[in-house]
Amino acid sequence: MKICIPTTTQDGKSAQVYEHFGSAPYFTLCDTEKSTVEIIDNANQHHSHGMCQPMSALVGKEIDAVVTGGMGARAVQKLNEGGIKVYRAVPGTVEAILQQFSKGGLQELTIENACVQHGCH
């Protein structure tokens, strides 16, 4: 499975999860089957609320799930329409999130429980 986690740094599995998907400085892509990590710079991290295009940084990447501290309903809907599930991250490192994810310990983020404002998490 390929999981995208927004992060504060480029530190791979040691990086801390960023609170909000669209404004994350980096995306850490983890392939759980191959145990590989790829870091992608989010050139769209500075945007007006509701105007982010974070998936443009991820074009061509096959992603099965996004694990994030928060995300708006429109973004959740777009990802779900593309076959990508979204989960709410617990604060911590990429490694800790991957462990929680593998145990089924993360809540799925839906349109109903998505963020309404950037300060929701």
- Burial of 40-75, coded b for 16+ CB within 10 Å and e otherwise, reads bebebbeeeeeebebbebbeeeebebbbbbbbbeeb
This prediction has a pTM of 0.84
Residue 73 — left, alpha, or beta (φ > 0 → left; ψ -120 to 50 → alpha)?
alpha
**Interval 38-96: pLDDT, tens:** 999 887 654 444 445 555 557 678 899 999 888 878 888 888 888 899 999 888 999 99
Query: Could you tell me the domains of the chain?
Result: 2-120 (3.30.420.130)
